[in-house]
C-alpha cells in the first residue's frame, strides 16, 4: 500500500497539459518587409515629384527674369501704321447684275518704328481691300528691313474689276454712299515679320493690320465730299508664329 502510494507520488500529476501557442503571419497586412518596401516607394515618388516641381519652377523664374531684362534693355514700343492719303477715281458696281465692281484706289501709308534698339524685317506684306466684308482686291508689296527710330512708306494700289456678292442691304448701303460720294473701304495688311534685337533675330510672326477708311470719290481731280483724313490703323498684335 505504501509502495503504491509512493509510486503515485513519484509520477506527480499536476493537471491537464497546456497547449502550445504559435504565431501566424498573414501576408499583406502590416509589418514585415512589405511595409518597408511601400515606405521606400512612397519616399522615392515624393522625391521625384519634388525634383520635377523645383526644375519647372526654376525654369519659369529664369524665363521670367530673362523677359524682364530684355524689356528693360530694349523697352519695346508699339509700331504705328497710318494711311496718310487715299485717291479713289473709280468705284462703280455694274448694272443690271449688280455683281461686278470696277475700282481704282491708290493709298499712301506710313510705318513708324519708335524703338531705339529694335529693327524689323518685313519678309512679306500682303495688302487686301474689302468693301462691306467682301474682298475685291489684293496686292503684294516689296519686303524690306526697317531700322530703329525710322519711318517707312508703303504705296498699295488697287485697280481692276472683281465680282462681289452683295445682298439687298449691302446694295442699299452702296447706293447711299454713292449719293454721298464717300465710300467705306477696309484695308488689311497681312504681315510676316521678324524682330532684330542687337545680334539676335526672332522667329517669324504674323501680325495683322486693319484700317477703316472713309474715301471720297475723286472726279477730274476734285472730290464732291471733302478730302481724305489721315487714318490710324489698328494693330492686331497676336504674335502667331509662322508654322513653316
| In the predicted structure, residue 5 carries a pLDDT above the cut 70 | no
Give domain limits for the chain: 80-236
pTM, rounded to two decimals: 0.69
pLDDT band at 244 (very low <50, low <70, confident <90, very high): very low
What CA dihedral angle connects 79, 202, 152 and 111, to 10 degrees? -20
- Which grid cell sits at 117? 534698339
The SS3 call for residue 152 is strand
Q: Are 125 and 139 in contact (CB under 8 A)?
A: no
- Which grid cell sits at 178? 454713292
Q: Are 180 and 225 in contact (CB under 8 A)?
A: yes
CB neighbour list of residue 198: distance below 8 Å, 6 or more residues apart: 117
pLDDT in tens, 105-161: 999 999 999 999 899 999 999 999 999 999 999 999 999 999 999 999 999 999 999
Question: How far, in Å, CA of 118 to CA of 109, rounded?
Answer: 21
Nearest to 91 by CA among 178, 173, 210, 172: 178
Burial class (CB in 10 A: 0-12, 13-18, 19+), 162: middle
The conformation of residue 205, written as its DSSP 8-state character, comes to B
- Which grid cell sits at 22? 504559435
pLDDT in tens, 182-224: 999 999 999 999 999 888 898 999 999 999 999 999 987 677 7
Q: For residues 1-7, give the mean pLDDT.
A: 51
Question: How far, in Å, CA of 101 to CA of 230, rounded?
Answer: 25
pLDDT score recorded for residue 65: 64
Question: How far, in Å, CA of 84 to CA of 89, rounded?
Answer: 17
pLDDT score recorded for residue 94: 86
Nearest to 183 by CA among 228, 124, 153: 228
pLDDT in tens, 46-69: 788 788 888 888 888 776 665 554
| In the predicted structure, residue 38 carries a pLDDT above the cut 70 | no
Nearest to 187 by CA among 126, 103, 130: 130
Amino acid at each position: 500500500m505504501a509502495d503504491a502510494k509512493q509510486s503515485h507520488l513519484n509520477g506527480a500529476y499536476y493537471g491537464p497539459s497546456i497547449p502550445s501557442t504559435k504565431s501566424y503571419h498573414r501576408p499583406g497586412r502590416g509589418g514585415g518587409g512589405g511595409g518597408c518596401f511601400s515606405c521606400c516607394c512612397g519616399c522615392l515618388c515624393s522625391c521625384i515629384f519634388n525634383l520635377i516641381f523645383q526644375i519647372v519652377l526654376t525654369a519659369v523664374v529664369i524665363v521670367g527674369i530673362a523677359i524682364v531684362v530684355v524689356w528693360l534693355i530694349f523697352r519695346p514700343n508699339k509700331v504705328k501704321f497710318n494711311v496718310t492719303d487715299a485717291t479713289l477715281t473709280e468705284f462703280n458696281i455694274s448694272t443690271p447684275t449688280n455683281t461686278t465692281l470696277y475700282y481704282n484706289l491708290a493709298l499712301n501709308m506710313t510705318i513708324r518704328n519708335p524703338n531705339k534698339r529694335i529693327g524689323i524685317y518685313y519678309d512679306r506684306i500682303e495688302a487686301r481691300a474689302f468693301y462691306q466684308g467682301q474682298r475685291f482686291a489684293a496686292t503684294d508689296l516689296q519686303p524690306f528691313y526697317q531700322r530703329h527710330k525710322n519711318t517707312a512708306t508703303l504705296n498699295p494700289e488697287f485697280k481692276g474689276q472683281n465680282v462681289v456678292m452683295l445682298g439687298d442691304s449691302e446694295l442699299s448701303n452702296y447706293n447711299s454712299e454713292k449719293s454721298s460720294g464717300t465710300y467705306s473701304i477696309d484695308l488689311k495688311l497681312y504681315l510676316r515679320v521678324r524682330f532684330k534685337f542687337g545680334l539676335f533675330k526672332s522667329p517669324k510672326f504674323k501680325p495683322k493690320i486693319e484700317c477703316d477708311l472713309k474715301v471720297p470719290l475723286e472726279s477730274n481731280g476734285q472730290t464732291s465730299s471733302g478730302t481724305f483724313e489721315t487714318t490710324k490703323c489698328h494693330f492686331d498684335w497676336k504674335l502667331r508664329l509662322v508654322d513653316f
